[in-house]
Structure 1
Amino acid sequence: MAFPDDLLVEDEQVVVHKHPHWKMLLGPVLVLLLVVGAASFLAALVRTQDWATWAWAGLAAAGLVLVGRFTVFPVVRWRTTHFVVTDRRVLVREGVLTRHGMDIPLSRISSVRVRHTLWERMLGSGTLVVESDSDESLEFDDVPGVQRVHALLYQEVAP
C-alpha cells in the first residue's frame, strides 16, 4: 500500500518514506513454513485412514487460520505502516482496521538521535529518537537505513 498523497498539504514534498525493516517479517515467514510443513506431515500420516478426507479438511482449516493470524495479518500490518519525513514534518501512520497517526512539525524538533544494537547495525536498521519541544521523546523502532534517515532528517531540521 503506497503512502496516501492526500495526507500532504499543498507544495509539501516527501524526503523519505519507509516501512518498518524487513526483519519484522522473519517470524511470520517462519510460522508459514512450520504450519505448511506440519500440515503436510500430518496429512501424509493419515492418508491411508478412512477418515483422511475429514482430517485433511480439518488440517486445511487450522492451517488457514494459523497462517492468516500469524503470517497474513503481520504482513499487512507491516505494509500499512508508514514512516515519512517531508520538508515540513515527520509523519507516522500505522494500523490495518483502525489507523493511528502522529505528525511532528520539523520546527518543533530539538534533536534527533539514533540507537541500534550490533544485530541492527548488521541489518541496517535501528531506532530513531526524535525529541521535540515537549518533554517527551518519540522513538521509532525498526527504521530501515536509520543512519541515512537520521542524516536526511537532521538536514531538514538544521537550517
Structure 2
Amino acid sequence: MVGHSERFGPGVPKELDRYLIPSEQIVFMLRRHWVVLAEPVATSVLGLIILAWVSSKTDGVLIKILTVLWLLLLSRLILRAWEWYDELFLATDRRLMLVHGIVTRQVDIMPMSKVTDMRYDRSVTGQILGYGKFVMESAGQDQALSTINYIPDSDLHYQQISQIIFAPSERKLTQKAAAPGSRVPITEPEQAWWRRKN
C-alpha cells in the first residue's frame, strides 16, 4: 500500500486504483479496531515478564528455550500488526470491500444491491471500547463478505451503509417522477386569476 491514489486523492492507497472503478465514490475507508491486536500484545508482554522472572531465578537451557518461545510470540505480534495495518475495509456507493492478506492479496466484495438485510451487533466490550460487528444477508448464495467484525465508530458506519442500501429505492422513485414523458399530476391554485370573481 505504498503511495496515494491519483484518482481518489490523498489518504487513499494507490492499490485501490486497481479495484475501484472511476465512477465509484468512497463513503468510508478504515482499518479494524485496535482491539484485534490486544491479545497478541498481552501475550507478548506476559511472555516477556515470565522470561524475566525465570531468568532471575535460574539460568541454563530453560532460559534459552523460553527466549526462543518469547521470540516466536514477538514474531506473531509483528505479523498480526502487519496484517492489521495492511487490511482495509471500505464502503463505496456501490459495494462493500475488504482488502486483506500479506502474501496472497485478497479482495472480498459484497455489492450493495445484493444486501437484503443487515444486522448490527455490539457486545459489552464493543460498547465500552467503541467497536461493533456487521452481519450481511444477501439474496441467493453465500457471499465472501458476510460478517465484518471489529468496526470502529460502528454507529456512524452503520448509518452510512444503511443510507446507501435504502436510498436507491427512494432515488428511483424521484427519478421516475421526474423522467421525461412521465405524467406528473398538476394542481391548480384555488385563487387563480381565471377563477376569481370580481
When normalised by structure 1's length, the TM-score is 0.80
Q: In structure 2, give the amino acid aligned to 1:35.
A: G
Q: In structure 1, give the amino acid aligned to 2:147.
A: E
Q: In structure 1, give the amino acid aligned to 2:117.
A: S
| Residue in structure 2 matched with residue 5 of structure 1 by the alignment | 16
The answer to whether residue 78 in structure 2 is matched with residue 67 in structure 1 is no
RMSD: 2.4
| CA deviation after TM superposition for structure 1 residue 57, in Å | 5.6
The total of aligned residue pairs comes to 153
Secondary structure of the residue aligned to 2:24 is coil
Percent of counterpart pairs with the same letter?
25
Q: In structure 1, give the amino acid aligned to 2:75.
A: G
| CA deviation after TM superposition for structure 1 residue 140, in Å | 1.1
Q: In structure 1, give the amino acid aligned to 2:156.
A: R
Trace 1:1-159 onto structure 2 (pairs within 5 A): 3=13, 4-6=15-17, 7-46=19-58, 59-69=66-76, 71-134=77-140, 136=142, 138-157=146-165, 158-159=167-168
| CA deviation after TM superposition for structure 1 residue 58, in Å | 5.2
Given that 1:90 and 1:105 are in contact with CA atoms closer than 8 Å, whether structure 2 keeps it comes out as yes
Q: In structure 2, give the amino acid aligned to 1:14.
A: I
Summarize deviations over 1:102-151 as a string: whole Å, max 9, x none.
11222222233211222212222111122222254722111111111110
Q: Which runs of 5+ in 2 are unaligned?
A: 2-11, 169-198
Secondary structure of the residue aligned to 2:56 is helix
Higher relative contact order (CA 8 A, sep 6+): 1
Q: Which runs of 5+ in 1 are unaligned?
A: none
| CA deviation after TM superposition for structure 1 residue 27, in Å | 0.6
Summarize deviations over 1:6-31 as a string: whole Å, max 9, x none.
22211322211122221111111111
Summarize deviations over 1:61-92 as a string: whole Å, max 9, x none.
332222112x1122222222221101221101
Q: In structure 2, give the amino acid aligned to 1:33.
A: V
Bigger radius of gyration among the two? 2
Secondary structure of the residue aligned to 1:154 is helix
For residues 141 and 90 of structure 1, the distance between their equivalents in structure 2, rounded to whole angstroms, comes to 14
